[in-house]
């Protein structure tokens, strides 16, 4: 069974009643139960549901642009009125976009419930041009704030939640820690977030993890910016950036410099959501596996979470990073998908009950 950490008895009972998956035994796929294997295989095993998006480009205060992919769910039987149709904002991982299989599955789950989804693609990552020499990072929440304000302004009477995966979860947590209760979001779900960036990069720099994950992730980061090289060369030594062989080297030469940090340690300190968890002011459910090499179990802030009545952690012993595969042939639905579906439905349909239980 997962470990459910929630200091608020009412939140705990709410989850037991309306999101029972978090108290059920999780049986990982027996032939790929180890965390690294789960992490590696999930993108290849899980299906990719067909989703028809409507793209929108919005301008930012600094002259940049952000690409949003909307799934309007116009045929929703449960919520035919678009003005009050519940909306879920989805934040993909570090180099992820609206095309990731885990995002497509979240949209598929939302579609069956009648909800609308919008995917926040980080700058320059989803095929759109960079209009300024700026991309994104886990610590800077300005673009996310702009997107949340924009979506809320379009549908001010619609219930509004967000779900973030990996770095998307870190960014969402950092935003919530900054805004407290001053947000149009009613709740949030976080999956496989890296809680302490120092511990995450140290884990990823162990020889086997570097070979399996770190080097590949670094090349993905370099690939994501290489298309914008002409724009970025105005501020960066791109030859040096493209020589990075670890995420830490990339962040030292590129990310931390872009966002004005004196040192990479200053950036990693600011990017670590564990520092802001006490300030979260809305109900948040966070799913992690303790065998996740991207977010080591010992770095999950269990004691800090116990100090905030708005926070619940669900910790599985297996599952890896965005893995959570279950069943003999885990193609269609993961444990993470089921947690997402039950939690968003619980909050949209019974959220007011948290305070009365």
**Does residue 336 share a domain with residue 216?**
no
Identify any residues that bridge with 120 across adjacent strands, giving them in sequence order.
Answer: 68
- Assess whether pLDDT exceeds 70 at residue 356: no
Candidate list 101, 291, 321, 337, residue with the active-site label: 321
**Does residue 212 share a domain with residue 112?**
no
Quote the CA–CA distance of 169 and 5 in Å, as a whole number. 18
292 included as an active-site residue: yes
Torsions phi, psi for 165 (to 5 deg): -120, 130
- Count of structural domains, the chain: 2
**Does residue 57 share a domain with residue 34?**
yes
**Does residue 159 share a domain with residue 108?**
yes
Torsions phi, psi for 88 (to 5 deg): -115, 120
Q: How far apart are the first and last CA of the chain?
A: 24
Task: Give me the half-sphere count of Cα atoms (radius 13 Å) on the Cβ side of residue 65.
Answer: 13
- Alpha carbon separation from 177 to 123, 218, 230, 281 (Å, rounded): 22, 28, 35, 8
**Does residue 295 share a domain with residue 262?**
no
- Assess whether pLDDT exceeds 80 at residue 357: no
**Does residue 237 share a domain with residue 157?**
no
166 included as an active-site residue: yes
For residue range 39-53, list pLDDT tens digits in order.
999 998 999 999 999
Per-residue pLDDT, 328: 86
Residues 6+ apart with CB under 8 A from 260: none
For residue range 197-207, list pLDDT tens digits in order.
999 999 999 99
Q: For the chain, what percent of residues have pLDDT higher than 90?
A: 94
- Alpha carbon separation from 275 to 79, 211, 325 (Å, rounded): 38, 30, 30
Determine the structural domain holding residue 28 and report its residue range.
Answer: 3-196+273-350
Candidate list 155, 292, 295, 337, residue with the active-site label: 292
Candidate list 166, 192, 203, 295, residue with the active-site label: 166
Residue 318 zone, left/alpha/beta (φ > 0; ψ -120 to 50; rest): beta
For residue range 208-230, list pLDDT tens digits in order.
999 999 999 999 999 999 999 99
Work out the mean pLDDT of the chain and round it to a whole number: 96
């Amino acid at each position: 069974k997962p470990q459910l950490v929630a200091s608020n008895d009412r939140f705990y009972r709410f989850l037991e009643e309306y999101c029972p998956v978090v108290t059920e035994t999780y049986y990982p796929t027996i032939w790929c139960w180890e965390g690294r294997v789960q992490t590696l295989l999930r993108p290849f095993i899980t299906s990719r549901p067909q989703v028809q998006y409507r793209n929108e480009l919005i301008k930012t205060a600094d002259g940049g642009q952000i690409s949003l992919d909307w799934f309007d769910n116009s045929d929703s039987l449960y919520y035919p009125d678009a003005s009050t149709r519940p909306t879920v904002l989805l934040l993909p991982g570090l180099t992820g976009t609206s095309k990731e299989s885990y995002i497509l599955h979240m949209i598929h789950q939302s579609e069956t419930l009648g909800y609308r989804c919008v995917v926040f693609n980080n700058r320059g990552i989803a095929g759109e041009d960079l209009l300024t020499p700026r991309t994104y990072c886990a610590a800077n929440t300005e673009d996310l704030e702009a997107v949340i304000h924009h979506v809320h302004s379009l549908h001010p009477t619609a219930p509004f939640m967000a779900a973030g995966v990996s770095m998307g979860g870190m960014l969402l947590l950092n935003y919530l820690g900054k805004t407290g209760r001053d947000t149009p979001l009613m709740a949030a779900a976080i999956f496989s977030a890296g809680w302490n960036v120092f511990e995450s990069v140290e884990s990823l720099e162990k020889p086997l993890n570097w070979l399996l994950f770190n080097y590949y992730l670094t090349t993905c980061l370099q690939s994501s910016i290489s298309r914008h090289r002409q724009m970025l060369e105005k501020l960066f030594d791109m030859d040096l950036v493209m020589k990075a062989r670890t995420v830490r080297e990339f962040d030292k030469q590129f990310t931390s410099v872009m966002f004005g940090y004196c040192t990479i340690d200053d950036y990693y300190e600011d990017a670590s959501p564990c520092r802001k968890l006490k300030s979260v002011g809305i109900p948040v459910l966070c799913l992690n596996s303790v065998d996740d090499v991207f977010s080591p179990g010992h770095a999950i802030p269990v004691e800090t979470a116990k100090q905030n009545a708005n926070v619940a952690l669900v910790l599985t012993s297996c599952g890896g990073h965005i893995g959570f595969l279950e069943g003999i042939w885990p193609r269609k639905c993961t444990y993470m998908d089921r947690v997402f579906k039950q939690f968003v439905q619980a909050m949209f349909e019974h959220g007011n009950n948290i305070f009365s239980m």
